A and B are shown apart, each in its own frame.
Chain A
């Protein structure tokens, strides 16, 4: 391993992963330090998986401009990175007169944000497109450019491309302290010291804490905002085609109903402020309330089974915009409070930070022919490995995951250290049966790969 890097990135959430890719492709030597045993262990673990156009972002905000460029970039690189996209479009729906009155302003805002294809629809037009919606809907508008994507493969592909082109990833490595002297950083971590010219803090839910540790102060304080979700059975995905968004409030985009790229129907998130940065637990009351809200919007949902429930934590703070702070004299950039649009904005954020770096000592020397990583595509709306030859057979029946897909993940350049990680990489155990059928086979296949095994051999066998 290098003993000195151009860039050290703290945190491998979707933002850190996009950052690593951008800077590696621009010729930097990059070190990614992630405290968890796997990447995507923070805010990026659970979200709505929508590629937003940014139609409702504050006009002229940094967030809006990062989403706009992130969005454009995503669409131009998805095919090359084998990332599935599904153009479902979105409908913003008003359920009462007060919300209806807000629509013109929201449409104007979308246009001001350059999302020009946003257009008003009558109640009848909406019901004709989405016949399963409750007739109590009063109006709305369409946002044709919203897409469904794979939230995990997205970040994995960014980081895998970075790794394939030279980035070093260290997991289980928490940045504890650091010092900037003589033009470079000396970072103290739980796994030793590392030296880099620049440090980029992409610590998500810990952005303010990493700021404190490295530069002694932070211009924001994170208040995690939990979002719980209910995932409905695949059969429910026929109930809607568009992403159904409510009229947003100041605090949240509200409860969304949409398909997932994996073929389920997703309902959520809630918005609950909390102090814990780790507590992503769900609770029955909230999940049942979500389900009721879903049935209000789509009455037929009542007849469908639930497949899973999860929660994600948004790195929110007292400010509404992204908190990207450049301290050129310390060669330090904090990319903080990427609250609820980081999946869409990540590539744009990375480009923005790259520009900031160029203003200091860093100069771009783009790789001429960067390596493109091999990422399995797990979409329900695209061809899958099980339909291909020599895949070793299906192990997870509900999600049609093949032996080859599992072995690719386990033996690849960024192997999972836990079942959670394997689930995100392959979708095993993410389907209807939640491990009823394939746990035993997985326990055999993953022997020796995980920090905590699924089972150990016993004497009575």
Chain B
């Protein structure tokens, strides 16, 4: 019998880049399924991802059957993974992705290379900056994303301003109000360039309750301030120029995948979603890479990403089990419709491999009411009604598309009604 050399660590089965909600749930599930070595690479000092600095409810209801605040939920995700034997390496940045599961790492003790049988990319989303939204004006101190505000407040116990304006009206913009409440301050306004709030309308009474006036449909927002922010100027929906004094601007939402690693890698990227091209098993263009969580698209809730982590883990376990599947071909799913931002998965494998996603996920660029059509050349594959808006979850069954011939190029389009 060969005795394992204690100094010679066993090979890494799965390396996970990013220890947020998706990565941690995925890692825990891999261990539960008996995968030997699962290593997580996380560039922050503590694992947990975005929920670490979401000091508000509700997190964890479906995952743990309890109502938790973000930081407690993140800790729970980490503790669960660690207890199951997941190795989490904090302060380790993955700097490059190479073919066949090799990673370049930055670690506090120097540069390293790591080889894993499978790699899972779970690097999440970030918010768009003011420049990415072409918000003009001066460039003073006091303009920041919701995440920056949340981390200042909940991770550092710091206070960056006292009467900020929130730019944006997504759910995360409302979280920013909660963060301000934690500081004991009230935002002086919520300002949105679109003509109504992006979050569900049912949230509007909350603004009234918190005494935060809403300006929607504004034009030409412009930041004013020499050293520190002094005001936000804009033209309101009635065409009237407005200048609101403020000492901080929270540039919130307009999520985009944190795809820095992908952009510089050999993996195929979907310009629509901003994330990797995946198939219905979450597998990337290099089959040793998988991806899960919000890197796939901007943006879902933590709970969704968590469950996506779990189901992706199951597919990886199956893949590692050396079962052999017969692949009969691929189908491409894409769109160039101006109303549709993305459709996931972008590639479908036709094989006898079970357990893939049963639904595709679609994101819109503008409010759309009509029919969503999947067609292959002149042939219509499936039709479904749609009445939705950007930033909403839209799922449609994949079955009809999977039934098209191998090699098909299925196009999604939208017809207004």
Q: Do the two shown chains form a genuine complex with each other? A: yes
- The interface stretch among A21-29, A239-247, A283-291, A343-351 is A283-291
Check A461 for interface membership: any CB of B closer than 8 A. Answer: yes
Number of residue pairs across A and B with beta carbons under 8 Å? 138
Segment 107-158 of B: residues with Cβ below 8 Å from A: 108, 110-111, 126-127, 129-132, 134-139, 141, 144-145, 147-148, 151-153, 155-158
12 sample A-B contacts, Cβ–Cβ < 8 Å, listed by A number: A234-B263, A282-B137, A283-B136, A287-B134, A288-B134, A307-B132, A387-B111, A394-B43, A433-B126, A452-B228, A457-B159, A458-B158
Check B160 for interface membership: any CB of A closer than 8 A. Answer: yes
Q: Does the CB pair B110–A309 fall under 8 Å? A: no
Q: Does the CB pair A460–B160 fall under 8 Å? A: no
CB distance from B146 to the nearest CB of A (A): 9
Check A172 for interface membership: any CB of B closer than 8 A. Answer: no
Q: Does the CB pair A393–B129 fall under 8 Å? A: no
Shortest beta-carbon contacts, A-B, top 4: A461-B157, A455-B158, A440-B151, A434-B129
Q: How large is the interface on A (under 10, 10 to 19, 20 to 34, 35 or more residues)?
A: 35 or more
Q: Does the CB pair B136–A281 fall under 8 Å? A: yes
The one of B108, B151, B159, B220 in contact with A284, judged by C-beta atoms closer than 8 angstroms, is: B220
Given A455-B160, A461-B157, the answer on whether A437 and B147 have CB atoms closer than 8 Å is yes
Q: Does the CB pair A435–B264 fall under 8 Å? A: no
Q: Contacts of A452 on B, CB cut-off 8 Å?
A: 141, 227-228
Q: Does the CB pair B145–A435 fall under 8 Å? A: yes
Q: Contacts of A283 on B, CB cut-off 8 Å?
A: 136-137, 220, 222
Check B182 for interface membership: any CB of A closer than 8 A. Answer: yes
Q: Does the CB pair A306–B126 fall under 8 Å? A: no
Check B106 for interface membership: any CB of A closer than 8 A. Answer: yes
Q: Does the CB pair B184–A394 fall under 8 Å? A: no
Q: What is the bound-complex CA distance between A409 and B184, given in angstroms?
A: 35
Closest residue on chain A to residue B226 by CB atoms: A278
Q: Contacts of A419 on B, CB cut-off 8 Å?
A: 141
Q: Does the CB pair B263–A233 fall under 8 Å? A: yes
Check B239 for interface membership: any CB of A closer than 8 A. Answer: no
Q: Does the CB pair A397–B43 fall under 8 Å? A: yes
Q: Contacts of A231 on B, CB cut-off 8 Å?
A: 131
Check B384 for interface membership: any CB of A closer than 8 A. Answer: no
Q: Does the CB pair B135–A436 fall under 8 Å? A: no
Check B335 for interface membership: any CB of A closer than 8 A. Answer: no
Q: Does the CB pair A444–B132 fall under 8 Å? A: no
Check A128 for interface membership: any CB of B closer than 8 A. Answer: no
Check A432 for interface membership: any CB of B closer than 8 A. Answer: yes
Q: Does the CB pair B156–A386 fall under 8 Å? A: no
Q: Contacts of A182 on B, CB cut-off 8 Å?
A: none
Q: Does the CB pair A435–B135 fall under 8 Å? A: no
Residues of A at the B interface (CB closer than 8 Å) are 230-231, 233-235, 278-284, 286-288, 303, 305-310, 386-387, 389, 392-394, 397-398, 400, 418-420, 432-437, 439-440, 443-444, 451-452, 454-461
Q: Does the CB pair B260–A434 fall under 8 Å? A: no
The one of A310, A389, A400, A444 in contact with B110, judged by C-beta atoms closer than 8 angstroms, is: A389
Q: How large is the interface on B (under 10, 10 to 19, 20 to 34, 35 or more residues)?
A: 35 or more
Q: Contacts of B127 on A, CB cut-off 8 Å?
A: 436
CB distance from B409 to the nearest CB of A (A): 20
Check B91 for interface membership: any CB of A closer than 8 A. Answer: yes
Q: Does the CB pair A305–B132 fall under 8 Å? A: yes
Q: Does the CB pair B148–A435 fall under 8 Å? A: yes
Given contacts A282-B139, A398-B260, A418-B141, 6 further A-B pairs with CB under 8 A are A284-B135, A436-B129, A444-B156, A452-B227, A457-B157, A460-B184
Q: Does the CB pair B141–A454 fall under 8 Å? A: yes
Q: Does the CB pair B183–A458 fall under 8 Å? A: yes
Q: Contacts of A460 on B, CB cut-off 8 Å?
A: 157, 182-184
Closest residue on chain A to residue B107 by CB atoms: A393
CB distance from A239 to the nearest CB of B (A): 13
Q: What is the bound-complex CA distance between A234 and B264, given in angstroms?
A: 9
Q: What is the bound-complex CA distance between A393 and B148, given in angstroms?
A: 20
Q: Does the CB pair A310–B130 fall under 8 Å? A: no
Q: Does the CB pair A455–B260 fall under 8 Å? A: no
Q: Contacts of B111 on A, CB cut-off 8 Å?
A: 387
CB distance from B375 to the nearest CB of A (A): 25
Q: Contacts of B160 on A, CB cut-off 8 Å?
A: 443, 454-456
Check B271 for interface membership: any CB of A closer than 8 A. Answer: yes
Q: Does the CB pair A281–B138 fall under 8 Å? A: yes
Given A303-B271, A306-B131, A437-B147, the answer on whether A282 and B159 have CB atoms closer than 8 Å is no
Check B36 for interface membership: any CB of A closer than 8 A. Answer: no
Q: What is the bound-complex CA distance between A308 and B134, given in angstroms?
A: 9
Q: Contacts of A286 on B, CB cut-off 8 Å?
A: 136
Q: Does the CB pair A394–B158 fall under 8 Å? A: no
- Residue with the highest number of chain A CB atoms closer than 10 Å, among B136, B144, B256: B136
Check B93 for interface membership: any CB of A closer than 8 A. Answer: yes
Q: What is the bound-complex CA distance between A434 and B127, given in angstroms?
A: 10
Q: Contacts of B156 on A, CB cut-off 8 Å?
A: 440, 443-444, 455, 461
Q: Contacts of B182 on A, CB cut-off 8 Å?
A: 460
Q: Does the CB pair A440–B148 fall under 8 Å? A: yes
CB distance from A430 to the nearest CB of B (A): 11
The one of A233, A284, A393 in contact with B136, judged by C-beta atoms closer than 8 angstroms, is: A284
CB distance from B257 to the nearest CB of A (A): 11
Q: Contacts of B258 on A, CB cut-off 8 Å?
A: 433
Q: Does the CB pair B126–A397 fall under 8 Å? A: no
CB distance from B241 to the nearest CB of A (A): 14
Q: What is the bound-complex CA distance between A387 and B106, given in angstroms?
A: 8
Q: Contacts of B93 on A, CB cut-off 8 Å?
A: 394, 397
Q: Does the CB pair A281–B137 fall under 8 Å? A: yes
CB distance from A234 to the nearest CB of B (A): 7
Q: What is the bound-complex CA distance between A278 and B155, given in angstroms?
A: 36
Q: Does the CB pair B134–A455 fall under 8 Å? A: no
| Chain B 69-110 interface 0/1 with A at a Cβ cutoff of 8 Å (1 = within) | 000000000000000000000010101000000000010101
Closest residue on chain A to residue B264 by CB atoms: A235
The one of A288, A440, A455 in contact with B159, judged by C-beta atoms closer than 8 angstroms, is: A455
Q: Does the CB pair B134–A458 fall under 8 Å? A: no
Q: Contacts of A398 on B, CB cut-off 8 Å?
A: 260
Closest residue on chain A to residue B149 by CB atoms: A439
Q: Contacts of A434 on B, CB cut-off 8 Å?
A: 129-131, 145
Q: Contacts of B256 on A, CB cut-off 8 Å?
A: 305
| Chain B 249-274 interface 0/1 with A at a Cβ cutoff of 8 Å (1 = within) | 00000001010100110000001000
Q: What is the bound-complex CA distance between A392 and B91, given in angstroms?
A: 10
Q: Does the CB pair B144–A284 fall under 8 Å? A: no
Given A281-B138, A434-B131, the answer on whether A440 and B155 have CB atoms closer than 8 Å is yes
Q: What is the bound-complex CA distance between A372 and B151, given in angstroms?
A: 40
Q: What is the bound-complex CA distance between A176 and B182, given in angstroms?
A: 46
Given A457-B159, A458-B158, A458-B183, the answer on whether A306 and B132 have CB atoms closer than 8 Å is yes
Q: What is the bound-complex CA distance between A231 and B132, given in angstroms?
A: 10
Closest residue on chain A to residue B146 by CB atoms: A436
Q: Does the CB pair B159–A386 fall under 8 Å? A: no
Q: What is the bound-complex CA distance between A286 and B145, given in angstroms?
A: 24
Q: What is the bound-complex CA distance between A309 and B135, given in angstroms?
A: 9
Q: Contacts of B138 on A, CB cut-off 8 Å?
A: 279-281
Q: What is the bound-complex CA distance between A279 and B137, given in angstroms?
A: 9
Closest residue on chain A to residue B43 by CB atoms: A397
